[in-house]
Copies of this chain bind each other. A is one copy, B any other.
């Protein structure tokens, strides 16, 4: 419970300390959102003092960005050999992942977006490797290679629809999205749009 490193324990330095602080920062962010994301709280959680944080990250932005960057990881794209299972599996990963949590938490970042005039979209673009195909672009491309889908142009909106809808559900409920909703998104919306006949 108490992560403090008061007298008696060995003193952390360099990257050891740095990692511990970012861990603590992430915890604070997840638990209390951007509003509770203060130097005070992070320092206390990390068992260190505010000056240590200020030396490394003079501005709140710096600390926040460093924290997000440290915990940002792309969501795993499954390779099941089936368009439907790829899609459902990916949405499940997105929902379960820490990366999913960040989307959830991103809502908590509204204050940050407001302060800085940026948006969740811009943050995502800043953190995502640019120019890379999205998960669903890959999923669709592989389905085309397998011959599961015809090789025809598709709008980015349609291709990426499932993740948008998942994110929307997360925003609205602030909860993990039930599996039934994921299946619904894929079976009732996405696959029909791609021209895949319903299996029912």
Chain A interface (Cβ < 8 Å from any Cβ of B): 32-35, 107-111, 113-114, 119-121, 124, 155, 157-158, 161, 164-165, 167-168, 171-175, 184-185, 188-189, 192-193
**Inter-chain contacts of A108 with B (CB < 8 A):** 110-111, 114
How far does the alpha carbon of A34 sit from the alpha carbon of B108 in the complex, in Å?
11
Please state the number of chain copies in the assembly. 2
Q: Which of B110, B168, B173 contacts A165 (CB 8 A)?
A: B168
How near does chain B come to A63, taking the closest CB pair, in angstroms? 18
Q: Can you show 11 pairs from A to B with CB atoms below 8 A apart?
A: A32-B114, A33-B111, A110-B111, A120-B171, A157-B184, A158-B189, A161-B189, A165-B165, A167-B168, A167-B172, A193-B193
**Inter-chain contacts of A157 with B (CB < 8 A):** 184-185, 188-189
How near does chain B come to A115, taking the closest CB pair, in angstroms? 9
